[in-house]
Structure 1
């Protein structure tokens, strides 16, 4: 099956290229970039040196393929949707364009133009196989959630389904610098970013309505930029509203994720790595989830690689389902330790 990447020069585009170049069925035939047109992929992604002779092509010369992955900036995929629908049987969008269904939330976080996109969002199946696997099997349009939203949703949805969430959930998210993309800016300048713990989203983060939409809880989210390149860790404070024991919480997570290929439960009582850490997940499509609790609080912890399970890996996993392929195809790398 032929696959293309629209917006192939960014960090997410590079991860899509890495995964597709090693995919047993999806054959990457095109990756677009205006700035790098005609240059080999390793011009933007040096880790891909020696993986083939594919060069970037002009976005205006997009060919017809079976699967089109779009890693375009916010608004650009939606602006070209009519044209792109004629270029591929399956569209997989990694931008925020069609994530939110609530017009008011879309307007608040993405501007007036997002209201029309919210109206079209129900046509896109969310790229969260753990929640929407059956719908993804027949999807022709997929919208992949944000990386921090994915981590929070996977941590919180089983607790909500088990009736273990009462009131607001406090979500403390930490993210590495690659989540800001590869466009230079003052916030990513090394002297300003290195060795800092910058709280850049104290209230009203755009992922709050995404979490509400998929996890069924009201999230109050704070985001901190940490001195790392990759990785997301979410710590969610949950009030269960009643006495809840460790066994009940374990049962909620096991019921939700038994047999899931890319969710691992990590909640050890002893040892160095007792709860999920993003560092050992780098390059993998896993999301690790764990928890601890006391008499009136559950602390849920989840971690993932923002560029893989939180973006490109989640997109490929979802496309595998839609294309009728084994879900793990091209996604078997387990991560590294030590890092």
Structure 2
């Protein structure tokens, strides 16, 4: 059975693009992902970033789920220290009530923002340290439905929305292993500790009522096009955009000058972010992704289709799905032991 392949959509907005247009593009991506056989589509909580329109993550999930029918939709992830577990239980309990068996909840402990924005979110500096306890409180609200103080989430109680621990370090791997939850590594932008984190998670995993065996999802960037030249051209635009965001060169640096700086090594941090990136044509995308799966020993891929224009993202989805022979109605393999996480 083919490995499940999913999509992380950052709801990107190009310069001058409206929020409404960006969200419409994300809906088009989700519909294409559903039609092409991808397992799930997730959205990440970010704040104060003019190029990302997924800050109100649960609202966006509701919109996408309402305009699709089969694909799982969720957060990859909610930055739990920004919120009370009760509020997130209510939000995702509501989503599950509206779209039964289709909602996922990935949890991270970063702020998804800069320090000033974290303060605007009323995030206390100690909240990250409380993340493990907040995960347990949220889990209780979604399952048994009550906390030690007797508070319940309506909707939410008994919804059993599946939880996933997200991370880019060994911390998340350790927590996911201890709690017996699936682990998702953000190797699409923080690849350095991927192998160590996956090895730690598998070695220390404790079976739970939620998961009998380790389950690893890893992020990988994909720029798949009909030809290598086309894929290279798209990825060059991606690198330029990221390099400018890192202030490589001056504000008046031309594309040609920026390309020279990148080749000369002035954007090593940008290149490291994209260490795990398939810039390939239709004939070789499957080879790259399957080699990644075998090397890292992951159970599922979550792909980030990097392209400035939505049509290129849609084509990348189609090319990837065809190359990976994704089923028209995806389902997790029984051997993944994810029941009851996949209702």
Same fold (TM over 0.5): no
Which protein is richer in strand relative to its size?
Answer: 1
